[in-house]
């Protein structure tokens, strides 16, 4: 009698408890846990769940109604199968409750999760929920799945051995999304789904140095849809079935970006993904293969001929080409000009793309004289200000600039000749003029002497005549 009374009391308490919870939102926010070595069968039950169901063992829900209430912290409730656990749902309806906040009706969605567990669903109905499968095994036969536009996914599978037949999926953004495994599907029907199904595959990326075969770390991988960046690159679509049932094959587009500080590496990949794919790319990062390929000297826009002398203060232009056979894109690569190993403060800044040749020049006003060595120098890799490990490339050319004395001798010779000619002319004129004056003075003096002699002779004759008389 004591045992009978105890059983009766337990039964009455159970009925009262279930009745209270069925009529009230105030239920215990506790999890239901099925232990690893536990086998639990719930049959012909009306279950009100507040919180989560955690399954490590084996749980069977048969011919029952499971109502998932909202959790205490208002998070999404879970029916979770942990690794190695198993859940069998047969002829059962899983739903949730409506809550009212003023004039608004609030629905608390929930998720049926299998984390490397085992799930079987037969002839059942799931309202306001979604099925999330990661690894493990899942078999569904006869299921009505309706999200009432409250959930994004109906069924999400990731690396799961999944078999389904006779499944109706309604009112989801995406009815079925599969990643990493090809599904075994038969008689799957979609209603009011923006996207009925997508098949996607895992993508892995590996980068290696071409010269050393060593892996390269630090690449940033991006996936693109046209010019739009896709949120994740870890998987790529093979195909998509839209809301009307039209299948679209997808071409995948990836970019691989590596920031090196002094430059960057960027490469694009295009292709169709039909299985889990490992993209392997080799990159040439051997910066020592960058070099000056050619160099020419121009003086006042005319090509300089070796052996000739360029005028002083002329515009000397050092034109060069720099070859980059690597996959490195160099930013702001500076090329400096040195004259006889002294800096001229003449420089060029160029962007050097990968696998390309760039032509540029530096210009210098020829302020020095004589034979000169012109050197252009560029630091390809600058580790620090005083590093001896910097990789530097140089190119040397020669030019001869006329001296200022040469200019004065050339110009002064004609000036000197002209001056000498003028001086000689002046001297000749002066000498000639002076000789004429002297000749005229001597002639005049001689005339005077002659006239005096004549006078004397006349006087003498006169005197002689008077004496004779």
Residue 425 in domain: no
Residue 382 in domain: yes
Residue 429 in domain: no
Q: Which candidate, 99, 212, 192, places its Cα nearest to that of 146?
A: 192
Please give, one letter per residue, the 3-state secondary structure of 386-452.
CCCCCEEEEEEEEEEECCHHHHHHHHHHHHHHHHHHHHHHHHHHHHHHHHHHHHHHHHHHHHHHHHH
Q: pTM of the entire structure?
A: 0.72
Same domain, yes or no, for 188 and 202?
no
Boundary (domain end) residue, out of 174, 193, 212: 193
Same domain, yes or no, for 132 and 189?
yes
The CATH number linked to 239 is 2.60.40
Same domain, yes or no, for 255 and 275?
yes
Residue 110 in domain: yes
Separation between Cα atoms, residue 427 and residue 303, nearest integer Å: 50
Predicted pLDDT at 159: 97
Task: Give the structural domain span for 120.
Answer: 17-193
> Other CB atoms closer than 10 Å to residue 197's CB: what's the count?
23
Same domain, yes or no, for 209 and 274?
yes
Q: Which residues contact 330 (CB under 8 A, 6 or more apart)?
A: 262, 263, 290, 324, 351, 352, 380
Same domain, yes or no, for 225 and 95?
no
Separation between Cα atoms, residue 14 and residue 1, nearest integer Å: 20
Same domain, yes or no, for 386 and 344?
yes
Predicted pLDDT at 296: 95
Question: How many distinct structural domains can be found in the chain?
Answer: 3
**Is pLDDT of 16 > 50?**
no
Predicted pLDDT at 437: 58
pLDDT-derived band of residue 76, with 50, 70 and 90 as boundaries? Answer: confident
Predicted pLDDT at 466: 45
Helix (H) or strand (E) holding 241: strand 235-242
Boundary (domain end) residue, out of 135, 164, 193: 193
Helix (H) or strand (E) holding 100: strand 98-101
Predicted pLDDT at 196: 97
Q: What does the mean pLDDT of the chain come to?
A: 84
Residue 111's beta-bridge partner residues? 78, 130
- Rounded to a whole number, what is the largest CA-CA distance in the chain? 226
As a whole number, mean pLDDT of residues 21-31 equals 46
In terms of average pLDDT, the best of 71-80, 145-154, 185-194 is 185-194
Q: Are 17 and 45 in contact (CB under 8 A)?
A: no
Separation between Cα atoms, residue 84 and residue 38, nearest integer Å: 12
Provide the token pair at 355.
């696998």
What percent of the chain has a predicted confidence (pLDDT) above 90? 65
**Is pLDDT of 421 > 50?**
yes
Separation between Cα atoms, residue 8 and residue 14, nearest integer Å: 10
Residue 446 in domain: no
**In a 3-state reduction of DSSP, which class is residue 59?**
strand
Predicted pLDDT at 68: 86
Same domain, yes or no, for 329 and 372?
yes
pLDDT-derived band of residue 184, with 50, 70 and 90 as boundaries? Answer: very high
**Is pLDDT of 445 > 90?**
no
Summarize pLDDT for 38-63 with one digit per residue, the tens: 999 999 999 888 788 999 999 999 99
Provide the token pair at 431.
């000498």
Predicted pLDDT at 150: 86
Residue 237 in domain: yes
Dihedral-angle region of residue 448 (phi above 0 means left; psi in -120 to 50 means alpha; beta otherwise): alpha
The CATH number linked to 363 is 2.60.40.10
Same domain, yes or no, for 91 and 210?
no
Residue 457 in domain: no
Lowest pLDDT segment from 243-252, 440-449, 458-467: 458-467
Provide the token pair at 160.
């799961």
Predicted pLDDT at 403: 84
Predicted pLDDT at 383: 77
As a whole number, mean pLDDT of residues 225-234 equals 90
Same domain, yes or no, for 94 and 226?
no
**Is pLDDT of 15 > 50?**
no
**Is pLDDT of 455 > 60?**
no
Boundary (domain end) residue, out of 173, 193, 213: 193
Residue 434 in domain: no
CA torsion 340-343-346-349 (nearest 10°) is: 110
Predicted pLDDT at 97: 76
**Is pLDDT of 451 > 90?**
no
What percent of the chain has a predicted confidence (pLDDT) above 70? 78
Same domain, yes or no, for 51 and 173?
yes
Predicted pLDDT at 176: 98
pLDDT-derived band of residue 469, with 50, 70 and 90 as boundaries? Answer: very low
As a whole number, mean pLDDT of residues 431-458 equals 56
**Is pLDDT of 11 > 60?**
no
Q: Are 202 and 235 in contact (CB under 8 A)?
A: yes
Same domain, yes or no, for 199 and 188?
no
**Is pLDDT of 123 > 90?**
yes
Same domain, yes or no, for 203 and 125?
no
Predicted pLDDT at 425: 78
As a whole number, mean pLDDT of residues 359-368 equals 94
């Amino acid at each position: 009698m004591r045992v009978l009374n105890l059983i009766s009391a337990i039964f009455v308490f159970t009925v009262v408890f279930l009745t209270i919870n069925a009529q009230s939102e105030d239920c215990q926010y506790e999890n239901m846990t099925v232990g690893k070595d536990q086998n639990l069968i719930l049959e012909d039950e009306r279950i009100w769940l507040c919180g989560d169901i955690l399954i490590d063992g084996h749980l069977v829900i048969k011919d029952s109604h499971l109502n998932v209430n909202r959790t205490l912290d208002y998070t999404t409730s879970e029916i979770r199968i942990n690794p190695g656990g198993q859940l069998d749902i047969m002829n059962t309806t899983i739903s949730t409750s409506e809550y009212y906040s003023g004039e608004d009706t609030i629905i608390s969605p929930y998720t049926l999760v299998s984390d490397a567990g085992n799930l079987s669903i037969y002839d059942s109905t799931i309202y306001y929920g979604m099925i999330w499968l990661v690894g493990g095994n899942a078999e569904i036969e006869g299921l009505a799945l309706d999200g009432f536009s409250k959930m994004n996914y109906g069924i999400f599978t990731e690396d799961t051995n999944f078999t389904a037949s006779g499944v109706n999926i309604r009112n989801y953004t995406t009815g079925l999304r599969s990643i990493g495994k090809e599904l075994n599907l038969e008689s799957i029907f979609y209603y009011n789904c923006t996207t009925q199904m997508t098949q996607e595959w895992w993508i892995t990326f590996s980068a290696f140095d071409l010269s050393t075969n060593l892996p390269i770390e630090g690449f940033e991988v991006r996936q693109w849809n046209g010019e739009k960046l896709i949120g994740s690159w870890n998987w790529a679509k093979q195909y998509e079935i839209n809301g009307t049932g039209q299948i679209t094959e997808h071409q995948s587009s990836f970019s691989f970006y590596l920031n090196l500080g002094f430059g960057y590496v960027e490469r694009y990949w295009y292709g169709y993904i039909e299985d889990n794919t490992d993209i392997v790319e080799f990159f040439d990062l051997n910066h020592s293969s960058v070099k000056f390929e050619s160099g020419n000297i121009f003086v006042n826009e005319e090509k300089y001929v070796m052996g000739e002398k360029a005028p002083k203060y002329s515009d000397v232009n050092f034109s060069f080409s720099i070859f980059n056979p690597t996959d490195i894109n160099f930013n702001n690569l500076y090329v400096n000009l040195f004259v006889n190993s002294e800096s001229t403060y003449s420089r060029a800044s160029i962007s050097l793309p990968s696998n390309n040749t760039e032509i540029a020049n530096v210009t210098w006003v020829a302020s020095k004289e004589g034979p000169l060595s012109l050197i252009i120098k560029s630091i390809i890799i600058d580790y620090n200000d005083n590093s001896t490990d910097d990789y530097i490339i140089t190119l040397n050319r020669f030019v001869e600039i006329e001296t200022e004395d040469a200019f004065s001798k050339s110009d002064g010779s004609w000036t000197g000749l002209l001056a000498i000619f003028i001086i000689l002319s002046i001297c000749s004129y002066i000498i000639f003029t002076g000789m004429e004056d002297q000749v005229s003075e001597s002639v005049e003096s001689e005339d005077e002497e002659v006239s005096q002699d004549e006078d004397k002779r006349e006087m003498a004759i006169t005197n002689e005549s008077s004496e004779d008389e």
